[in-house]
Amino acid sequence: GQSLEQPSEVTAVEGAIVQINCTYQTSGFYGLSWYQQHDGGAPTFLSYNALDGLEETGRFSSFLSRSDSYGYLLLQELQMKDSASYFCAVRAAGNKLTFGGGTRVLVKP
C-alpha cells in the first residue's frame, strides 16, 4: 500500500515563506501531486511532479526527489487567502491517487 506523511499544521505571517514537506512510501511510484482545500470547499489541484526537480507556478513551487521519496510545496509571499489545508498525493501502482492527511496552514497578519 501507500503511506504519506506531512506536518499537521504550520503557522506563518503574511509575506513569509512556508515549506510543507511530504515523505511517502509506495510501490510503483508515478508522481506526486499537491492540492489546496479551503474549509468547506473542494480540493483544487496545484501541481504535479513526475520527475525530480522543482516546478514553479507563480508564488507556489513544488519539488520532488524520487530517490529520497520526498517532496515539498513552497508557498512564497504568503497571503491571508493562502490559509487552507494542503494535501500531497501519490500516484502509484494500481491507478490509485492516495492523499496524505493534510497540512493546515494558518496565515496571520
Nearer to another protein, 75 or 103 (CB): 103
Residue whose CB is less far from another protein, 78 or 102: 102
| Nearer of residues 15 and 41 to another protein, judged by Cβ | 41
* Least spacing, CB of residue 81 vs another protein, in Å: 18
Q: How many residues does the chain have?
A: 109
Residue placing its CB nearer to another protein in the complex, 14 or 56: 56
Residue bearing cell 508515478: 30
Query: At closest approach, how far in Å is the CB of 52 from another protein?
Result: 15
Q: Residue 80 has what DSSP assignment?
A: G
Contacts to another protein by CB under 8 A? 30-33, 41-45, 48, 50, 87, 89, 91, 94-102
- Count the Cβ atoms, other than its own, within 10 Å of residue 64: 23
| Residue 69: all three cell numbers together | 521519496
Closest CA to 106 of 88, 89, 85: 85
The CB-of-41 to another protein minimum distance in angstroms stands at 7
Tally the C-alpha atoms within 13 A of residue 57's C-alpha that lie toward its C-beta. 10
